[in-house]
Structure 1
Amino acid sequence: MITVRYTIFGTTEFGPTRVGALLGVLLAGAGQVVTAEELVERVLGDDPPPRARAMMQTWLTRLRQTLPGLIERDGNGYVVRVDPLEIDLHLFRHLVRTGKTADALALVQDELLSTLDTPWARQLRADFADELLAARLDHVDERLARGEHAKLVPELHTLAAGRPLDERIAAQLIEALHGSGRAAEALRHFEVVRARLAGALGAEPSRHLATLHRRLQAASAPRQLPAAPKPFTGRALELAELDQAPNGVVVITGTGGVGKTSLAVHWAHQAMDRFPDGQLYVNLHGFGPSGAAVSPGDALLRFLSALDVPRAQVPHDLAGQSALLRDALADKRVLMLLDNATDAEQVEPLLPRSPNAHVVITSRTSLRPAHAKALPLGLLPPEDARELLAARIGHDRARAEPDAVDTVVRRCARLPLALAVAGARAATQPQFPLAALADELADLDAFADDDDVTADLRSVFSHSCKALSPAALRLFRLLGLMPGSDISLAGAASLAALDVRETEALLAELATANLIDQPEPGRFTCHDLLRDYAAELALAGERDEALHRLLDHLALTGVEAGVAYTPNRHRPATPPPAPGVVVLRFGTHEEALAWLMAEHPTLMAAMPHGTPAQTWLMGWSLADALARQACYQDLLTSQQLAVAAVEQLDDPDGLGRTLINLGRGLSRMRRPDEATAALHRAFDVYEGNPAGQAGVLLNIAMLCPDDRIGEAMEHTRRGLALFEECGDSYGQANALTGLAWGHGKIGEYAEAVEYAERAMRMWREMDHLIGQAEAWDNLGTGYLGLGDHAKAAEAFTRSSEMFRLGGDLPLEAGAYEQLGDTHAAAGAAEPAREAWRKAVELRTQAGLPTDKVRAKLQAEGQ
């Protein structure tokens, strides 16, 4: 093993002395003759003192006495006679050449010849910095190859910030982000780098970076198709028609259970190569028993999210969202599968109308969007039906009882859904003669009706249910009551008042019987015909209590999620859960948001069915998440339902808070007059509650446009007085922040600083990060207006750092933009451009317009 004897990363063994510097110079050139003149220049610089040669000779003599045999005279110069691999610098280079970058990097603990400050030494350090960076990036490549993507992201972010135009670092960061599951962020970073290169150099990305971008685009294309159905048999004619259909719209129609979805999904998997830019899928639940069909707006948001369109770019109206989807798909070869559609009105806003996009719709109705091709689907031909059953129960078993196979096929009406359920039962009981199963179905022939295939399905379902354990059968009955299209494990446990583990085992039994599906871990659903049948079986005495337990679970878990998501919200009073209800709790903000968004459709579907208390608690739970996730239509709908519910309760505080949330929803939907009316009503409801009225006043102030800043400040002053009256520190800090902002907007900068300093003291006492960030931001505005550029720059720098820690990209971008404005006002052009470029980068990441900041860059000669 090589042992380093001589170290020049930092100082030599002689320390920060001229003798040590001389030794470092000789070691750096080990094996090479260095003349006396070169030694003087390298150790003493371009302007050496008198008698420099004599001084150098004295130091050389000392070195040769202390380290005998190391330094020799060679002609008119000196040379170090030692194995270069005993010197850390040369060992570093050897390790890099031999691919041992981790060992090489471990040697570099300090700056090269750190105590020597001559032009030669500075150039040596600059050259070595390039070597070190190259080695570091080589090591990054090795770690990426080992799959350490997530660990590398912070390091690469730091490297990229220091070298914003380095395309190798950009490529590594993009690859690390993508490998960490952050595909959208990876693609956005490419756009940021492309914009930087164009702005700074007038250049396009290198071929390597562009190739990586194309590869990641393909890898990041949405792949939303459900798993391909197994087994799948028959439908050769229909598959051929789908293959031959040109890009456009195909509508597969047929009765429930006939296999429309299986056909569409099976073909889509076969045709994936034709659509390299991705496959989009949504189950529109047009015929679910709860009537909770997916709205076009909800489907559009799912698609836009899958296409990595930043939420900030998504309009709030249906027409705007539809147009944005068409723009996003304009040049893409994409397959869109709209499953279980109700009517043309549900699908029209989703159609891309692009020559490269292809849409397949399944529906029980003969809906006909413009220029759509109809593909009606009938019952399976007898031979295909026999093959489907045989594939499920085993071909040997089917060949052994061909008559029984024919009987089961006939009594299942050749419907794939019925055959799947019957086959699942037979497959789980291999010792059970198939003829016996056929005989069980025989007494139900009277229910068969050529015009009503659901009667035959009902008979098949009934016999499959007979094979269930009593507990599984009870759970199946209750699942028919769920208000949404799917249910979580905890929700199912609450519905049945069972232990979670026991519920999980029963759900597995139902899945084995092909009565439910698990489309993703922890969530369960079933075909709408099965849900209809399950609901028919539910006993009158168990319906109300079971549904109440499920709604209790949603409402009370929703409160826990709402508090975890926004910790400073005042927790509403909640009733105790009904016996058997599972109430989840959340350790982090992220866990709470994940639950709220996963349950968002279920909560929306459940709200109309709850008690007044349950409904308003569900609305309270959703309010902040829907507002921050820009789901403004659902925010409005949920708060309208919540207001109607809480009006039935003796809870003025709950009504006031819900009216405030309703005002937020109306404001986001651009209905300011109604929003103002809701907030004024909230103010009246809070009569006798100064803190409540103060909160309303701050929300009314937020509705005021820029030309009514004075009115907004008056509302805020009244709110501050009320918060002071009741001793509400958090409310006071919010009001002071609003006043600081308002004074800054109208040019009263000294007052802006005064209010911001008061707010800062309170935010610091509460250790409130975003509050402090906003206070620094307002201080920056005040100092800039007063002409104190140094203080303004410091304030905006602090503000941007805190907004970054708080995870608020738009506000961080705003702070950087104002930091650039401050530098520009101080005449510091390059720092201004640097700050503005950072603002452009952040606004790009957040999906916000960048035109205004780019105009500032162009005006400064970017």
Structure 2
Amino acid sequence: MATEFRLLGEVQVHVDGQPVDLGHARQRFLLVALLVDANRPVPVDRLLDRVWGSGQPRHARNAVSGYVSRLRRILDGVATITRRPDGYLLAVDPDTVDMFVFRRLVGRSARPESLERERELERALALWRGEPFGTLDAPWLTGIRAALAAERLTAELDLVDAALAAGRHADLLGELATRAAAHPFDERIAGQLMTALYRCGRRADALRHYQEVRDRLVDELGMDPTAELGRLHQRILASDPALSPERPAAAPGDGAADGTAGRPVPRQLPAPPAVFTGREAALSRLDGLTSGAAVVSGCAGVGKSALAVYWAHRVAARFPDGQLYVNLRGFDPDGAVAAPAEVVRGFLDALGVSARRLPIDLAAQTALFRSLLAGRRVLVVLDNARDAAQVRPLLPGSPGCLTVVTSRNQLGGLVVVDHAEPVPLDLFTDAEARAFLTRRLGAGRIAGEPTAVAEIVRRCGRLPLALAVVAARAAAHPGFRLADVAAELGGGLDSFDGGDPHADVRAVFSWSYRALSPAGARLFRLLGLHPGPAFDTDAAASVAGMPAPAVRRSLTELTRAHLLTERASGRYVMHDLLHAYAAEQVEGAEKAAAAVRILDHYLHTAYAADRMLYPYRDPVVLSEPAAGVAVGALGDRAAAMTWLRTAHGTLVGAVEWAARTGHDRHCWELAWSLTSYFNLSGGWTDQVAVQRTALSAATRLGDDTALAHVHRNLGRAHTQLGRLDEARTHLDQALSLFRAVGDRANEAQTQVNVARVLERQGRDVEALHCDQRSLDLYRAAGHLTGQARALNNVAWMLTRLGDVDLARTLCREALRINEDIGNRHGAATNWQSIGHLELAAGAYRTAVDGCRRALDLFAEIDDLAGTADTLVCLGEAYHADGDPAAADDTWRRALTLLDEMGHPEADRVRGYLRPAPAAGAGRPA
């Protein structure tokens, strides 16, 4: 059935072109309340507020249940409404809801690769039939209406830009004059009208309109026009030929010239706050910004992050090229402040830059980040910054981008030097505090006890975080009188009246902590030891040494008390102030035992993940985990990679935390357990960082085996980063240590690593000798996996040196061993090597067969790098065999993968696809 949910006008539902009777206004309110959050659960309290506002009837919950039942019957077959523990969820195809279709079309039109921009914008605007939500009126709809109106205007102006670019300036004059009169302070509209006037030969009128706009801005707002409008004015004065009506050349951000076409559009904003109240002055101040930076500052718990995220969602459509978000952890109680290099790497990853293509130093990473944002409209939210030095490398340079920074500090350096707009955030006013409690507890309960409400507001000092904790307590006990809730606060909150907010919120936390059950209180304080703000159920169970079902009950208790936030199913976040307070409550033997359990959880789960990723890696022997530790259940390789990616930041932090707290064995063993993950994901910089920490820990332990492993891991990471001298230094130390402890297998693997350094230096004969030495060592140790690996490496070097016959024999021997032991990764590598050597021998059909076999195996183990390398060889074999069409198709497939990974081989393969020069060779023969 063809279904349409129409919100951009009167609320309607059409099925197969026929309207559906939605019933009375309250029922339509409920449908809209679910549709605006389609495919996400909407808490019942929020539905009640949206349907009735402050005038909820006594049996409102029963009424909602009845409305839902009727809507289910009405929408049978086109949408489903399900009841969940966290509210009601309306499951619907977003492409059937005009509001979502409008946003999708507008977003798609703004992408650099969009070739039908005008058509998509016209389709988007054609969905509008009037005022959004028609005659339905409620306070909660006001903000959504305003946001949609802003998005519609932006889309209309984007369409004007597209029409101007197409040379239809004469057709636009009337429309632009009318719009300029309706929006006299909008400089984008002014610029469009000036451009159209100039192109129509009315240069004097264009200059006159600029002067009118400038005078109006100065006289009424006390501000000059933006630099962008000023530049347009100067270009008109100079009769700049580039303003002629011909379509302009590709802009820096359109992807045609700079290679950004097809890059992902990041949408990193966390979910907006469930309840947001007041802050109109701050929101208005932010609304006035179009580029540059703003600093939202205020005391801890005042709601800076909530404001930034709420506003960012409200204006997301103004930034069609994406929204980037990061918590800088500027005041993390463990001192785990996010380094600018860590953040820039995360942003580059979100913008589609492969880890293998990342520059090594921060300056180069920052330059790449700013280059990628040039000419694009991106919103960057830097949450919880410590100081200007942490923020400054993260500021985009593009005038189309806007950065919002939140911090407990004023960041005067950003305001003075970088001209950031200061947006100070104070405590709630009395009215805002009361409105906040009303949204949480209901209008009837608040109106019934005005004196108690005033006392709660006074004792909480109008601090939003403190009010949230108190409201959670009151909401959990709807039978409590608010006067009793206020009395429970006691004298500890008296200091809120003009006192230090840090001490004030601690008093609220102490009250909330004392109200917990014994199990909940114990879990809360032990979570203060966790090395990072985010964790899952297994980590919490390990911290407490409790079974998962029991810890889930305590997690639910802490979440309901607003002492934790459940960001996703089974994943939790603790506010840094709460984290600091919790850490203050744990001490002595309880603290020491919990620290060991935390590290054991991450060590043993990471080790299990490593074994999933590469089971043929020589293991290290771990001690048994402490009693009560929950080791994550990782069913397969994909689950292992997912867990490692999700816990990445915590794992890196745990290595550092283990070193700081004297758990040196956990430190180096956890670093060892992350090696396969970093190797597969290209995280060489992170690998160097954790292995350096592990090196200090292993040195303190005086453990030669540990030192040998760490030196070898550092050597391989430095090799991948091109730091060959540093790599060789570490690898030589690893060789000496493995010899001293009599570990032949790991000595052999280190010889392999040395060979790769020599190969990169062009010292192929020396590299061959190292590979042969590794083969001798593996044979002496009876190590089959290593023997197969070394045989393949020797064959590879022999192929490079021209001895293809012996290379073929060794490759076949390596393949037999890998097939016997079931090592699919090794077998794939062997077939790939066979493809290369047969190509070198001129046996092109045999090379094609070897490459195809390798591709099948690499696909089974999801090895993209191996697949790309094999496709390059396969294309060369097709080309040499006289099939240029098959070669081109294969190289294009390879190039797609190589570009995704930022692989240095991409340019060489791109050269294969260029037209061959007339004089002869240009592609591989």
Does the aligned pair in 2 maintain the 1:558–1:596 contact within 8 Å?
A: yes
1:225 maps onto 2:269 in alignment? yes
2:685 is aligned with 1:637: no
2:556 corresponds to 1:534:
no
8 Å contact kept, 2:290–2:400: no
Partner of 1:462: 510
C-alpha distance in structure 1 between counterparts of 2:838 and 2:276, whole Å: 71
Instruction: Write the letter of the residue equivalent to 2:546.
Output: L
**For residues 713 and 449 of structure 1, do their structure 2 counterparts lie closer, same or farther at Cα, with a shift above 3 Å needed?**
farther
Aligned to 1:22: none
Q: Report how far residue 494 of structure 1 moved.
A: 1.0
CA contact (8 A) 1:218 1:277 kept: no
Distance 2:885 2:501 in 1: 75
Which residue in the other structure is 1:815 paired with? 870
- Write the mapping of 1:727-746 to structure 2, written as runs, cut at 5 A: 727-746=782-801
CA distance in 2, matches of 1:410, 1:239: 25
The CA RMSD over aligned residues, in Å, is: 3.1
Q: What amino acid is the match of 1:698? A: V
Answering whether residue 739 of structure 2 is matched by residue 691 of structure 1, we say no
**1:671 aligned partner:** 723
Which of 752, 765, 773 in structure 2 is aligned with 1:710?
765
Provide the secondary structure at the position in 1 that maps to 2:913: helix
SS at match of 1:375: strand
State the Cα distance separating 1:622 from its structure 2 match.
1.0
- Residue 390 of structure 2 is matched in structure 1 by 346
Give a deviation string over 1:640-683, Cα, whole Å, max 9, x none.
22233334557544432222112123333443222212211111
C-alpha deviation, 1:317, in angstroms: 3.1
Q: Which amino acid aligns with 1:234?
A: G
Q: Deviations over 1:285-337 (max 9, x none)?
A: 11011111222233223323333334443333323332332233223322111
2:301 to 250, 257, 260: 257
2:796 & 2:624 partners in 1: Cα distance?
43
1:152-193 superposed Cα distances (whole Å, 9 cap, x missing partner):
xxxxxxxxxxxxxxxxxxxxxxxxxxxxxxx9xxx9xx99xx
Which whole-Å CA distance do the structure 1 matches of 2:676 and 2:705 have between them?
A: 17
Task: Report the CA distance between 1:146 and its aligned residue.
Answer: 12
Equivalents in 1 of 2:78, 2:719: separation in Å?
50
* Correspondence for 2:287: 243
- Percent same amino acid among aligned pairs? 38
- Deviation for aligned residue 1:388: 1.5
Which is worse superposed, 352-361 or 607-616?
607-616
Structure 2 equivalent of residue 394 of structure 1: 442
Amino acid at match of 1:257: G
Equivalent pair of 2:459/2:497 in contact (CA under 8 Å): no
What code does the residue aligned with 1:695 have? Q
Distance 1:449 1:480, change over 3 A: farther
Q: Work out which of the residue numbers 566, 570, 593 in structure 2 matches 1:522.
A: 570
Give the Å deviation of 1:463.
Answer: 1.8
What residue number does 2:651 align with? 603
2:753 is aligned with 1:753: no
| Aligned equivalent of 1:615 | 667
Comparing 684-693 with 731-740, greater Cα deviation is found at: 684-693
Give CA-to-partner distance per residue, 1:465-524, whole Å, 9 cap, x none.
Answer: 232212111111111111112221111111111111111111111111111111222221
Offset at residue 210 of structure 1 (A): 13
Aligned with 1:852 (options 895, 908, 912): 908
Q: Which secondary structure does the structure 1 equivalent of 2:381 belong to?
A: strand
Aligned counterparts of 2:715 and 2:531: Cα–Cα separation in 1: 27
- Secondary structure, counterpart of 1:443 in structure 2: helix
**Alignment partner, residue 489 of structure 1:** 537
Tell me how far 1:261 sits from its aligned partner. Answer: 0.9
CA distance in 2, matches of 1:399, 1:811: 68
> Separation in 2 of the partners of 1:663 and 1:449?
59
Aligned partners of 2:352 and 2:900 also within 8 Å: no
Q: CA deviation at 1:361?
A: 0.5
Q: State the distance in 1 between where 2:574 and 2:762 align.
A: 55
CA contact (8 A) 1:561 1:585 kept: no
Find the aligned partners of 2:504 and 2:893 in 1 and give their Cα distance: 66
Name whichever of 609-618 and 585-594 sits farther off: 609-618
CA distance in 2, matches of 1:550, 1:523: 16
SS in 2 for 1:596: helix
How far the C-alpha of 1:394 sits from its partner, in A, is 2.1
Q: 1:398 to 1:643 in 2, by over 3 A?
A: same
Distance in 2 between residues matched to 1:270 and 1:575, nearest whole Å: 51
Q: Is the alpha carbon distance of 1:431 and 1:737 closer, same or farther for their aligned partners in structure 2, counting shifts above 3 Å?
A: same
| TM value normalised by structure 2 | 0.68
Distance 1:236 1:834 in 2: 57
Moved more, 596-605 or 280-289: 596-605
C-alpha deviation, 1:799, in angstroms? 3.0
1:623 touches 1:635 (CA, 8 Å); kept in 2? yes
Whether 1:328 aligns to 2:372 is yes
Look up the match of 1:701.
755
Q: Which amino acid aligns with 1:403?
A: T
Deviation for aligned residue 1:417 = 0.6
Q: Distance in 1 between matches of 2:380 and 2:262?
A: 16
Instruction: Note the residue ranges of structure 2 that are not aligned, 5 or more in a row.
Output: 1-76, 80-103, 124-253, 255-260, 918-922
C-alpha displacement of 1:362: 0.1
State the alpha-carbon separation in 2 of the partners of residues 537 and 561 from structure 1. 33
* Residue aligning to 1:782: 837
Report the Cα distance in structure 2 between the residues aligned to 1:800 and 1:558, rounded to whole angstroms.
Answer: 29
Question: Matched residues in 2 for 1:448 and 1:856: separation?
Answer: 71
d(CA) in 2 for partners of 1:796, 1:342: 53
What SS class does the counterpart of residue 338 from structure 1 fall into?
Answer: strand
Q: Partner amino acid for 1:854?
A: R
CA distance in 1, matches of 2:814, 2:78: 49
Task: Write the mapping of 1:434-583 to structure 2, written as runs, cut at 5 A.
Answer: 434-444=482-492, 447-448=495-496, 450=498, 452-583=500-631
What TM-score do the two structures reach when normalised by structure 1?
0.72
